[in-house]
Homo-oligomer: A and B are copies of this chain.
Amino acid sequence: MPWLSQSSTNEVINRICDKIWLAVVQRTLRPGARLKEEELTEIFATTRARVRQALLILEQDGLVTITPNRGACIAEPSVEDAHDAFSARLAIEQRLVSRLCQTASAEDIRLLRDHIDQERKAHERGDNEAMIRLSGEFHMLIAKLSGAGLLLKILRMLTIRTSLITAMYQTQATQTCGPDEHDRILAAIEARDAQSASHEMAHHLHHLETALRLSDTPIPVSGLHEALATNLRKRPS
């Protein structure tokens, strides 16, 4: 269940957005890579209008940059952008967990625990794709459970951006947060300790950010085309 691109009602467009996002976080599509409309059209076996809509959505999400008459590229967020994104996430997510501490039902807690279990399983079997998805989804789940539709939407945007940033600036170390820190956040929520939960969240995000090498810009080179094609072979139709 892709948690991205709930924007569009059209299934094809959602698939395009999702595949591109996946290719980016898996580093098969590098920042700066050009995304020619015609090319995407034949890869996804659709029309150019659809591809265009998808690119527009991805631009809104900050995953690609569109320059007029020049087309779309995978975005290249600067170090400053990276700090911005994490800073914004901090503001949003601290508030979310604090709120959730007051409102969480037993059912909510169970859902979060189940989710972390899934994360752990994916982690154990080394399923990278699932890990990436689930790590993001955990934060989204918190937003959803806290009942704030708008903050969920905002967080979704921010999560996409930090995904890109992580893919761009990560060291060779883990590119996703392990389940343990999520666990500690959940524990704080379960204990209804808003201050602790807020603190754990801050720690978690700080950890994510400092795991990157944001000092030197690694000047990423652009890959192309086969990235998406490979992804498609995994799920042919």
Q: Shortest distance in angstroms between A62's beta carbon and chain B's nearest beta carbon?
A: 8
Q: Within 8 Å of chain B (Cβ to Cβ): is A12? A: no
A150 surroundings in chain B (CB, below 8 A):
62, 81, 84-85, 88, 158, 161
Q: Which residue of B62, B68, B151 is within 8 Å of A84 (Cβ)?
A: B151
Q: Is A6 an interface residue (CB 8 A)?
A: no
Interface size class of chain A, counting residues whose CB lies under 8 Å from the partner chain: 20 to 34
**Does any Cβ of B come within 8 Å of A148's Cβ?**
yes
Judging by beta carbons under 8 Å apart, are B85 and A7 in contact? no
In chain A, residues 46-71, which have Cβ atoms closer than 8 Å to a Cβ of chain B?
A: 56, 60, 62, 68
Give complex CA distance A80, B148 in Å: 9
Q: A-B pairs with the 5 shortest C-beta distances? A: A84-B150, A91-B95, A9-B68, A88-B150, A84-B148
Q: Is the CB of B91 within 8 A of A149?
A: no
In the complex, what's the smallest C-beta–C-beta distance from A93 to chain B, in angstroms?
Answer: 10
> Residue A187 at the B interface, CB < 8 A?
no
Chain B residues within an 8 Å CB radius of A151: 84, 87-88, 91
Residues on the B chain within 8 Å of A158, using CB: 150
**Residues on the B chain within 8 Å of A88, using CB:** 92, 148, 150-151, 154
A interface SS class: helix
Contact between chains at B149 and A84 (CB < 8 Å): yes
- CB nearest neighbor in B for A152: B84
Distance from A12 Cβ to chain B, minimum over Cβ atoms (Å): 14
Question: Which residues of chain B have C-beta atoms less than 8 A from A149's C-beta?
Answer: 80-81, 84
Give me 15 other A-B pairs in contact (C-beta within 8 A), A91-B95, A150-B158 excluded: A7-B60, A9-B68, A56-B56, A62-B150, A80-B149, A81-B149, A84-B150, A84-B151, A85-B150, A87-B148, A88-B92, A88-B148, A88-B150, A91-B92, A154-B157
Nearest CB of B to A69, in Å:
9
What residues on B are CB-neighbors of A148 within 8 Å? 84, 87-88
A60 contact from B60, B81, B85, B92, Cβ within 8 A: B60
Shortest C-beta distance, A49 to chain B (Å), equals 10
Closest chain B CB from A102 CB (angstroms)? 13
A213 to B85 CA separation, bound complex (whole angstroms): 35
Q: Which residue of B lies closest to A150 (CB)?
A: B84
